[in-house]
Amino acid sequence: MGPIDELWEILTLVTVVALGGLAVLVALVRGGGGKTKTAPRPPRVDEKERAEELPSPEAPAEVENRGGGVAVEPEVVEPTAPEVERPESARGRLQRLRARLARSNSAIGNALLAVLSRGGLSESDWEDVEDTLLASDLGVEATEELVSSLRTQVKVDGTTDPEQVRRWLHDDLLRLVDPTMDRRIAASREGDHPAVILVVGVNGTGKTTTVGKLGRVLVAEDKDVVLGAADTFRAAAADQLQTWGERVGVPTVRSDREGADPASVAFEAARAGVEMEADVVLIDTAGRLHTKRGLMDELGKIKRVVEKVAPVSEVLLVLDATTGQNGMRQAEEFAREVDITGIVLTKMDGTAKGGIVVNVQRKLGVPVKLIGLGEGPDDLAPFDPEAFVSAIVG
């Protein structure tokens, strides 16, 4: 090999080495110090194997359905509101709302005091007292008791001093309202199941709104709550209840199909309460006319189905306080169908007649536990007999 051939080989070798070094340098610059960043490729999974890995859906629960509607699997809707409200404690709420109560009921007390303070009361005056009490929906029996007691005290004391008469009237009304009745809401877990509260009543009484407001009351008392939208016959009822729940971070069990079986929704709500270890499940039932026998029978069915999961702790009847004697007939009909444990009186801030509290308690033998005093979200208050009577008499 001549000198020229040797020189050519040397130049070729140098060129190869230089190109190789350049390639390594480029790789180092692109790779950030020699480490290659590549997205891991997901392992290929055979479709058969994927199907075997996924849990199989549970079969729908067997729910009693005797012609009560279309059985549709309800769903649990978790709250999605961006800001969850924290309601104020309900303790003492009726005291704070006393002014509203007084505006609608103080006319009764004023009318009574105007008559009783006249002095030298005649039979005509006592008849005016009776008429005023009857007009307040106190009821015949309670009116006779109250008038008899007042007449005796006026006769024995021999005075109609306004302040003394006011004290007598206050004490007698408080006795009729009966502060000894247990007005607590059964809303605590018992063993391995939550308390279940059914809320019943006719359309127009504010039943669904009452369920939402009661949910707020319980959340304020640090209770874990589940709502059940078993009013499936009114299109907006489930949406309305879900909105109430979302505002305070409470899940709602509902069906998106109008006319679905209410008992199925109620059953799933109770079961969700068990699975979530909730303290209480509030179930809104469809508003029904107390004169419709089939609808009242369905209410009994809902109660039976729910009790396959957990005992029903409370059945609260929502009554419009402005309906007077018609409301009393509703109450008696509902009481014949299910065991009512408490009354919720709504619209007590309007033209309500406070005597209905005494009347409904005597007719049903159960206490008024809650009263609604406005449209605000926290205008539902635990019933306080002392505050109630003081608002009437002053």
Per the annotation, binding residues are 201-208, 284-288, 346-349
- Cα 52 from chain centroid? 41
Q: What is the token pair recorded at 394?
A: 């002053």
What is the helix (H) or strand (E) element at residue 13, kind and residue range? helix 3-31
The one-letter code for the residue type at 146 is L
Which residue ranges make up the annotated binding site for GTP?
A: 201-208, 284-288, 346-349
**3 state DSSP class of 22:** helix
State how far the Cα of 296 lies from the Cα of 313, in Å rounded to an integer: 19
- Cα 294 from chain centroid? 25
What is the helix (H) or strand (E) element at residue 81, kind and residue range? none
State how far the Cα of 310 lies from the Cα of 111, in Å rounded to an integer: 49
- CA-wise closest residue to 349 among 5, 99, 32, 88: 99
Residue 61 burial class via C-beta count within 10 angstroms: exposed 0-12, middle 13-18, buried 19 and up: middle
Strand ranges in 206-360 using DSSP code E only, listed in sequence order: 225-230, 252-254, 280-285, 312-320, 342-346
State how far the Cα of 209 lies from the Cα of 237, in Å rounded to an integer: 9
What is the helix (H) or strand (E) element at residue 380, kind and residue range? strand 380-382
Q: What is the token pair recorded at 343?
A: 């009354």
Name the strands in the sheet holding 252-254, side by side, starting at the edge strand that comes first in the sequence: 75-77, 252-254, 225-230, 280-285, 195-200, 312-320, 342-346, 368-372, 380-382
**3 state DSSP class of 242:** helix
Measured from the Cβ of residue 82, the count of other Cβ atoms closer than 10 Å reads 5
Q: Mind giving me the DSSP string for 124-146?
A: HHHHHHHHHHHHTT--HHHHHHH
Per DSSP, 160 falls in state -
